[in-house]
Chains A and B, each alone.
Chain A
């Protein structure tokens, strides 16, 4: 056991500790809910914690490691959500098992979000800094706009897809059924998301990103973040690795979207707006750029906070805004940097003074 611990590098050890922490919390919550201590509203919130933590981890890969600010990540979540929910609804007759449909939907939603990440990444990742951020926002708005006018219906003749104008009339009145109904979105998706599968997916996500970051590909991604020109000079194909990082980040957002779709009773595109993207960004910034554990903790605390402190809920967004500004000033302002280094110095001295 001790030998194993020595063999693991620091990031991997950190990941194992985080997973153990998640499992402990999971078991405690299960015990609390079985004994009836946990209120049902809190119990209902548990899957939500998981998918927000998952998408925060995914966005951290993009912002913290790839170094590119995406303020349209909610769009990838919506791709995962709509793809999977459309599938689970359309295949209701063909595959009676909800679990199996959810599983296939999960794969479809993840792949589709990753694919969109790849396709959108090709133009977006050619840009830099603020322009890149604003274009992710633009793509987010475009995807939201298109999902809002997307109609998919199903009848005995098969699947009918229409944009802008509803295809309700063209459906066979006997067997016809709207699956995606424009701005009204998708209703009647089975509630397949649970705390248990949420925790499993969260741990899986954490393992994937930690292994990715601590591999040849992950080093290439971070090298590009730190210095693009130097990365090129040692032969790294910048476009390729940016695309890999961005697509995986988008695919993880897709996982969160799939969970979201199978958690809410009605799925609408308008939910995946700029505010949602910012909310996720707040988790990432607050948890610390480059710290997956931080992202998870921030997502959990900030999702629970308004629920626990009901009186705070109207101040929730206000607090987020202040936190966002304060975090940035604390991390980057010259005065704050001086202050922190002096603090560190003092701690160091105290340690040394001790015999």
Chain B
């Protein structure tokens, strides 16, 4: 059984079919790419897979469990985590607290425990701090733990978003244009980090990216979207050499 199975997924906004009849599946521990020109509907796919939009057709299953139509919160609990194309951090909170918010579900105590500072509070907070620092060090952010998220440089903000997503203890990680706005060196470093996350946490990753060096460098298989429809899927190298794909990207 595949880790993620997407079956003829689609959505329309007031008559406009943004994504139509999309199917693909991702195996455990795979690095999978979703590419396509601007406006092809890639982020819309992410939004459906995370419950921000409710699909109007088709289903998707995580480890055989149907998550279609569930709320964003419930899907997060089920094990899908994501980052955003336009970075969405908790900008007025510290870097450490951003990750601790990600740990919200996995390490939990009640509001009253917090207000009354019961012993459980101290134990759980300690566990949270340790876990959060561990994650931050994976992304080389441990020195910035007390910095406000807003004050981090751009590349570090993208990394913090991944760290926060990893804190939710997911089985599937969705990365929406992780290399956007990065220079070649930063992208190179990011590729290493993504591979490390996959190997270290035994993670399955689905990513949207325009940077073809990153896609061909780390994705094992890809799906190409064009005008909301699947153009081609398969082994990254083969797909990228396909005439149709080149045409969709470069125009006629």
Contacts and interface: CB of A to CB of B under 8 A. Distances in A.
Indicate if A touches B (C-beta under 8 A).
Answer: yes
Interface of A: 208, 211-212, 215-220, 222-223, 225-227, 229-238, 244, 290
Contacts of A236: 73, 101, 104
Given A233-B76, A234-B101, 8 more contacts: A215-B121, A216-B108, A219-B97, A230-B88, A232-B72, A233-B165, A234-B105, A236-B73
B90 A227 contact: yes
A230 B93 CA distance: 13
7 smallest beta-carbon distances between A and B, as pairs = A215-B114, A235-B76, A226-B90, A230-B88, A232-B72, A217-B111, A223-B101
B102 interface: yes
Nearest to B108: A216
Contacts of B109: 215-216
A229 B75 CA distance: 13
A226 B73 CA distance: 17
A220 B101 contact: yes
A234 B91 CA distance: 15
Contacts of A233: 50, 72, 76, 81-82, 84, 88, 165
A232 B115 CA distance: 23
Contacts, number: 97
Given A211-B117, A212-B111, A215-B121, A223 B73 contact: no
B130 interface: no
A204 to B, nearest CB: 11
B65 interface: no
Interface of B: 50, 52, 71-73, 76-77, 81-82, 84, 88-93, 97, 100-102, 104-105, 107-109, 111, 113-117, 121, 124, 128, 164-165, 167-168
B233 to A, nearest CB: 26
A60 to B, nearest CB: 14
Contacts of A232: 52, 71-73, 76
A227 B88 contact: yes
A227 B115 contact: no
Contact of A238 (B73, B116, B168): B73
A20 B165 CA distance: 40
17 contacts: A208-B115, A215-B111, A216-B104, A216-B107, A216-B114, A219-B93, A219-B97, A220-B104, A227-B91, A230-B84, A230-B89, A230-B90, A234-B104, A234-B164, A234-B165, A235-B168, A244-B111
Contact of A234 (B71, B102, B124): B102
Q: Which of A216, A225, A290 has the most CB of B within 10 A?
A: A216
Contacts of A217: 111, 114
Nearest to A210: B115
Contact of A219 (B73, B91, B100, B113): B100
Nearest to B71: A232
A233 B73 CA distance: 6
B90 A223 contact: yes
A219 B72 contact: no
Given A234-B104, A234-B167, A212 B73 contact: no
A216 B101 CA distance: 8
B149 to A, nearest CB: 8
A223 B91 CA distance: 9
A251 B50 CA distance: 35
B155 to A, nearest CB: 18
A226 B105 contact: no
A12 to B, nearest CB: 10
A52 B52 CA distance: 41
A217 B97 CA distance: 12
A238 B74 CA distance: 12
Contact of B93 (A215, A223, A234, A235): A223
Nearest to B113: A215
A215 B117 CA distance: 9
Nearest to B52: A229
Contact of A226 (B71, B82, B91): B91
Contact of A222 (B81, B93, B164): B93
A353 B108 CA distance: 48
B54 to A, nearest CB: 14
Nearest to B76: A235
B133 to A, nearest CB: 15
A235 B77 CA distance: 6
Contacts of B124: 216
Q: Which of A229, A232, A244 has the most CB of B within 10 A?
A: A232
Given A211-B115, A229-B88, A235-B168, A219 B101 contact: yes
A217 B109 CA distance: 9
B101 A231 contact: yes
